[in-house]
A = this chain, B = another copy of it.
Amino acid sequence: MEREVKHMVLAKFKEGVSKEEIEECIKQFANLVDLVPSMKAFKWAKELSIVNFHQGFTHVFEAIFESAEDVGDYLANQNHIDYGNFLMPRLDKFIIIDFEPTNVQP
């Protein structure tokens, strides 16, 4: 893949959201790769708490695209909208940030 534009979600799940529900959220997010043509890959992680500046965010989700336009197609895709309606009520807070990482060779 030439370019890698990341649509990253930092998420904190609400108290009371079960482990199974969180797993379902991850699974359905990953499934969007099959449902949204412009979405090329999906990665996720639990926060590791090595430092304590993570402000309560527990999970990181990365939807990966080849351009900002492709992120736009994803945002407008009904499968994404349906997924958002599933995920968002389960979140206590979130940040979404889009960026295209530049690799620096010092």
Contact = CB atoms under 8 A, between A and B. Distances in A.
Interface of A: 5, 7-8, 10, 26-27, 30-31, 33-34, 41-51, 53-55, 57, 60, 62, 68, 71-72, 75, 94-106
A62 B103 CA distance: 9
5 contacts: A10-B10, A10-B95, A50-B72, A57-B97, A95-B95
Given A7-B50, A50-B71, A43 B96 contact: no
A12 to B, nearest CB: 11
A84 to B, nearest CB: 11
A97 B41 contact: no
A92 to B, nearest CB: 14
Nearest to A45: B99
Contacts of A27: 106
A19 B46 CA distance: 33
